[in-house]
Every structure is written in C-alpha cells, then in structure tokens.
Amino acid sequence: MFLISTAHAQTAPAPAAGGTESTLITLLPLVLMFVVLYFIMIRPQMKRQKEHKAMIEALAKGDEVVTAGGLLGKVSKLGETYISIEAGTGELMVQRTAIVQVLPKGTIK
C-alpha cells in the first residue's frame, strides 16, 4: 500500500496567444504536400496530354504511326475522329486518340 503513490489531476495548459499563427503552422505541411504533388504528378501529366493532342492534330496522310495496341501502319485517310491505316495487306480504321507515336519516314517497309 505504501508503494503506490496517489495520482493528481493536472490542469489543462492555457491556450497560446497567437491562435492564427499556430493554425498556419499546422496547415503548412498540407500546403507543401500539395505543391510537391502538383510539380511531381499533375504538371507532367498535363504536359504529356498537351503534346499528345498536338501530335494527333498534326497527323497527315502518309505518316507512319503506332497505335495503343502496338499496330504499325501508314495513315491513308484522315477523318474527324477516325483514321484509316494501311497495315499489312488491309486497311483498318482506328480512333485518332489510339495513336500513341508517329514514326520517322521509312520505318515501315
């Protein structure tokens, strides 16, 4: 009985005088994480989308392209949303957005 000391309740500490300052300090890590996320993920993705859109709009008849499925072909007809591609002995229609790369001339023989 003598080995156990009695517990005394502590009073709550007084609130700090600078309330808005402490709020800003607690929000700072959240803001920093968003800034880092923007520069690491969001901005490069927007840049890639802009480059892809410019590539799709610059397509011309005779360009050699690769589709998202890995198909190689030469553009034979251009439409608003679809493109005809000569692949092998036939002609295929694919969506413009399915084009992922324009190859240098003479790649496909």
Give pLDDT tens digits for 48-82: 999 999 999 999 999 999 999 999 999 999 999 99
Reduced to 3 states (helix: H, G, I; strand: E, B; else coil), residue 50 is: helix
C-alpha–C-alpha distance, residues 77 and 80, integer Å: 10
Sheet with 90-95, edge to edge strand ranges = 90-95, 82-87, 72-78, 64-67, 99-103
Cα 88 → chain centroid: 34
Q: How far is CA 107 from CA 33, 72, 73, in A?
A: 44, 10, 10
pTM score: 0.68
Q: Which two tokens stand for residue 23?
A: 């709020």
Name the CATH code of domain 60-109 (choices 2.60.300, 2.30.30, 1.20.140, 3.30.1360): 2.30.30
The pLDDT-based confidence of 23 (bands split at 50, 70, 90) is confident
pLDDT > 70? residue 2: no
Question: What proportions of the chain, in percent to the nearest 5, are helix, strand and coil?
Answer: 40, 25, 35
